[in-house]
Structure 1
Amino acid sequence: MNTTTNKIWSVAIITVLFLLNARSQTNWNVTVSNFSFAPASLTINQGDVVIWNNTLGTHNVNGTTATFPNNPASFGNDVQSSPWEFSFTFNIAGEYRYQCDPHSGSMQGTITVNAATSIIGQDKDEIKIYPTPVTEYLFIEFGDNKAGAYSSIQLVNINGQIVHSQQIEGNDDLKINIGHLHPSIYFYRLLNTNGSIATGKILKK
């Protein structure tokens, strides 16, 4: 891929990422005050942002895996007096617990992050790409023999480089091993036999 093509793809990827985030990302606010987190329990979607706002007292947010080994990822800030604000983007689905260290007996919270799915087309039975986030194998299911409409699939990193390319033959579903790829956001390009391209993003963890 030449330099010009790389630049074009980089701009396209940034644009798609911005549009996808603008459409799907939600901010959730948690008030830290009076020895409590309010609300203390949240259910959000993958990619959403939680913002803690300390309005009174000396507190922190501790959701590190050192304190909660079952958390899918670490997050948190240092103990500080109000006012302060701390935010974290939850890119990995799962169950999270956190606490305020100075008041761990009374100040605890939970966050449930629902996994996102990636679906192309208005008809949900047309094609499904899952799971997201993906750790090792990416599955692509074609409904109603739609595989025959696509000639190949490419995975592109955020720098516009193609990290995987594969021909699509017949109407079989695909299983792609991407376990060797670094954790990041990647974009898939499904090339249609009529020359059109369907795109979307996946999160590799």
Structure 2
Amino acid sequence: MMMSISTISGRLKDRGVFILLLLLPLLSEAQISHAVEASSFLFTPNDLTINAGDTVVWTNVSGTHNVNGMQSIFTSNPESFGNDLGEGWVYSFVFNLPGVYDYRCDLHWTAGMTGTITVVSESTGVNQDSKDPLFSIYPNPVAGKLYITAGADIRSVSIYSATGARILLHGDVNKANHEISLEGIVAGIYFVEVRIGNENRQIVRLVKR
């Protein structure tokens, strides 16, 4: 029995809708929204580390404020973002480009109303589910040697740049305490990834002086 073109297209459309419904949970999990409040003379929190593709939503709780992350002010920002001064607003921005973004409230930045958002590429990733730290690093900021202490044997340590490029790898550590020399590495923002066992992994932000 031959089917009409309209019947075939209808079935393909139904199949497409079905596939889309299957993918929606994956899409919603991949992209996360992060909330920041603007009130008094503060952004809360004022320091975020997120994955590329995540959204930051600022809500002005009280007062007259804005979000200014324009490249004309912060020349090292990978791209510009921001809104106008006002009251009672909600502003959101999707950060697709990895890097470190600074921003401020134009009216109150001299009083310390500034913020920083660090966007990590998918190749690096941010462990959003970890509530308890698996390891600690010190000193941070660091100029020379970095010391890592974990509650169990460390499998490997990787250090990534702010753009997600791995610049250092120590594999087969197999001990709970480890040290890494960062002499010769350019000052800036980096990320330390420590793997413990086959599944446990966490990433923390590191400032190199």
**Could you tell me the TM-score, scaled by structure 2's length?**
0.48
- Kindly name which structure, 1 or 2, has the bigger radius of gyration based on alpha carbons: 2
Normalized against structure 1, the TM-score is what? 0.49
